[in-house]
Amino acid sequence: MEGEAGRPSIRLRYAGLILFISRVYSLLVGLLFIIIATRRLTVGEFGLWNYISTILGYWILPLDFIGYWIVRFTARGEHTGATAIFISLTMSTAIPMLFLLSSPTIFRSLNVDYLVLILVAVKLAIIGISSPFDWIAQGLKPEIIAYASIVFETSKLLSASILVAGLRLGLIGIISAISIGYVSKATILYRAVKGFTLGSSRDIKLIRRIFRGIWIPIYGSIPSILSSIDAILLVHMTGTVDSLALISAIRTIGSPIALSLAISAALYPKLLAEGRLEDAEEAMKLVYMLSIPSSIGVILLAPYILSILRSEYTIVSIPLSVYAILQLISIASHLAMTIASGLEKVDLEEEAGFKDYVRSKLFRIANMSVASSLIYVGMLACMLYLQKDSSTSNINPSLSVTYMWIVSVTISTIFSAVYAYKRLLKGIERIKTPWTSIARYTAASIVMAIPVYILKPEAIYIEVLPLLRSITPPILSGVAVYFATLYLIDSWFRRLISRLISIVIRRSSKF
């Protein structure tokens, strides 16, 4: 598990492949979970669930601040186990209590059952207790996260099948099912990193280093805080959760395009441990190989995939298509941030001060995210305000709000991409974007689009099973045509397949 100088030995392709497989599994199982949720919850209840999830995100931010440094220190070979557990246990006691005390004020304008709030507090405690094992696994052996995610999604789905689909407990059942999933995930993670945590002791010096640099993740969290204000703006400026439900549907279907980033999940700790630039270009190829055809597939099948959730969501097919393209741009920004952050070495200096961090790329990354979020929220708030006096407010208000949202996302996403490549990767001359490979992926995707378009359903079915049967042929044929075409035109992909076959044969021979 450890390489040179006591640092973890991380295998980029292996960890990336395992993580990607787990994300695909999580996507499919998670989609079944969402189908159960959207079919058993009204549009209003689905919007309320997403609103509660947004508020919950604020309360787990302190854990993210600590996790930011635990992952970096773990990847660089430091014994962080006992220290991480000590800090997270302290927080997991305080955070749920503060949440319950403040919840009457937070949810004053909404009719939320107090039992739901208690269950959310329990979920917060579970997340807090399990967090240190997650941080350690990310820095030590990223593929552990993959196995734990599979367990999480499976437990969550099984629990939802009983509590929501069977017992019809609604929102209470949804939150309980997710909590059960977190307990299962924590169990797997603890068993995987137990040896690492038991082999360490609480390090006061490490705690000081974490809190001395904690302003970096705090500043870096401003974007997520600002971005999540969109839910509050949408609910309070429109007076309904319907538009939030439509936007959540777009995110549910469109966000899996970024699933390919799972392949690059091992890139960050590997750059921290080894700093090899060759790994960055390899990760780019792997990510775009999957994200480009996924984006085109979502565009071609947008109304049919949306109707899996509920037929009412098909009205946002055009915003979903735009969002699918924006996901590709967002992926580019994410990769640039990962590379810049992984190559930054300011935190190796134990005595690094405030000015040192301000001059680092870690601070530039935070600046980019803050500016992007301000643009997004500012644009959305202005358009929502102007909508009140606009004639479009009388023409399906929820849909017009959704178009305002996608315009705001477009502008902020383009800004992030330009900043990332102009500022974050500036001076790192040896990193080259694999444009030739991207062109081949695009060409193969265009070929893929032909059978997908020909075989796409002629009508949108209301029932889930007939709908799934109707979209399965175009999806499977598209996947087959894409990879077959790519195999013919891309030598790098052929070598990748050969390596994978060799690994499978080698592993099989051992049994």
Q: pLDDT digit of tens for each residue in the chain (511 aa)?
A: 444 444 555 555 666 667 777 877 887 888 889 888 888 887 778 888 888 888 898 899 999 999 999 988 888 788 888 899 999 999 999 999 999 999 888 888 777 888 999 999 999 999 999 999 999 988 887 778 888 999 999 999 999 999 999 988 989 999 999 999 999 999 999 998 888 887 678 888 889 888 888 888 888 788 878 877 888 888 777 777 788 889 988 998 898 888 777 766 667 777 777 767 777 888 888 889 989 999 999 999 999 999 888 888 899 999 999 999 999 999 989 888 888 888 777 777 767 677 777 878 888 888 888 899 999 999 999 988 887 665 554 567 788 889 999 999 999 999 999 988 887 877 665 677 889 999 999 999 999 999 999 999 887 877 778 888 899 999 999 999 999 999 999 999 998 888 878 877 776 666 5
Q: Structure pTM?
A: 0.72
83 and 147 co-located in one domain: yes
Residue 404 domain-assigned (yes or no): yes
Between the alpha carbon of residue 448 and those of residues 284, 295, 327, 455, the distances in Å are: 21, 12, 19, 11
Residue 2 domain-assigned (yes or no): no
Residue 71 domain-assigned (yes or no): yes
337 and 390 co-located in one domain: yes
Q: What is the phi/psi pair of residue 8, to 5°? A: -60, 145
272 and 207 co-located in one domain: no
257 and 149 co-located in one domain: no
In whole angstroms, what is the distance from residue 496 CA to residue 12 CA? 13
Number of continuous H segments (helices) and E segments (strands) in the chain: 20, 0
In whole angstroms, what is the distance from residue 259 CA to residue 292 CA? 11
139 and 277 co-located in one domain: no
138 and 252 co-located in one domain: no
| Structural contact between residues 230 and 110, judged by C-beta atoms closer than 8 angstroms | no
Number of compact structural domains in the chain: 3
**pLDDT of the residue at 428:** 65
Residue whose structure tokens are 């700093």: 275
Residue 4 domain-assigned (yes or no): no
Of 212, 232, 258, the one marking the end of a domain is 212
152 and 223 co-located in one domain: no
Q: Which residue range(s) make up the domain with 63?
A: 11-212
Residue 240 domain-assigned (yes or no): yes
Of 179, 212, 245, the one marking the end of a domain is 212
476 and 510 co-located in one domain: yes
The residues, ordered by sequence, that sit 6+ positions from 78 with a Cβ below 8 Å of its Cβ are: 206
99 and 19 co-located in one domain: yes
In whole angstroms, what is the distance from residue 40 CA to residue 6 CA? 51
Hey, how many other C-beta atoms are within 10 angstroms of the C-beta on 377?
Answer: 21
**pLDDT of the residue at 408:** 95
In whole angstroms, what is the distance from residue 232 CA to residue 47 CA? 11
204 and 227 co-located in one domain: no
Residue 444 domain-assigned (yes or no): yes
In whole angstroms, what is the distance from residue 493 CA to residue 496 CA? 5
193 and 280 co-located in one domain: no
Of 401, 432, 463, the one marking the end of a domain is 432
285 and 413 co-located in one domain: yes
Residue 251 domain-assigned (yes or no): yes
Residue 258 domain-assigned (yes or no): yes
